[in-house]
Structure 1
Amino acid sequence: MWKYALAFAVLTLPISADVTSPSGKAVECYCTDKSGARVELGENRCLSVGGRVFMARCEMSLNVPMWRETGGSCVTG
């Protein structure tokens, strides 16, 4: 049981880590929607891009916030 708890703790460390600038200050990372509204990391949104409509999650990739398609369909109505 302790082995699983330790593995879980180690695997969740990168999720809770802050991004810091060279000066040592924490940098707030977030995505934006088409109206420019802030979307926090881990939040899902229905996106419409180039005629396609799909669910995407705000995630970090190479220290850059980006939208990653989740494969789920958008629920409307």
Structure 2
Amino acid sequence: MILASLAALPATADVTSPSGKTVECYCTDRNHNRIELGETICLQVDGRMFMAQCQMSLNVPMWREIQEGCLSSALDNSAPSLDTFGIYPKI
């Protein structure tokens, strides 16, 4: 029961340095916003868009691609949503 409730809590991303100082570990996005370990966002790099998760690798926070493309609710208004060329116009 206790383990189940602890699993729902976010993981703390703090590391203690050899000098005893606590070092916070997190990623940053393009706008320098803090993104916590385990969070997933859409990244655009060199014209490519993909879903990436903030993870640790060799004690360094880094972005790892987890899915091609990005989830979006935006509609592309530049192209028609339906191809109507196959419809007979006199119906």
TM-score between the two structures when normalised by the length of structure 1: 0.72
- Structure 1 residues 53-64: aligned runs within 5 Å: 53-64=49-60
Match of 1:66 among 42, 53, 62: 62
Aligned residues: 64
Match of 2:42 among 46, 71, 77: 46
Which runs of no fewer than 5 residues in structure 2 stay unpaired?
A: 4-10, 75-91
Larger radius of gyration: 2
Which runs of no fewer than 5 residues in structure 1 stay unpaired?
A: 6-14
C-alpha RMSD of the superposition: 2.0
Residue aligning to 2:30:
34
Give secondary structure in 2 for the equivalent of 1:22: coil
Percent sequence identity is 64
Following TM superposition, the consecutive aligned residue runs of length 4 or more in structure 1 with deviations greater than 6 angstroms are: none
Q: 1:72 to 1:50 in 2, by over 3 A?
A: closer
User: Residue 20 of structure 2 aligns to which amino acid in structure 1?
Assistant: G
TM-score between the two structures when normalised by the length of structure 2: 0.62
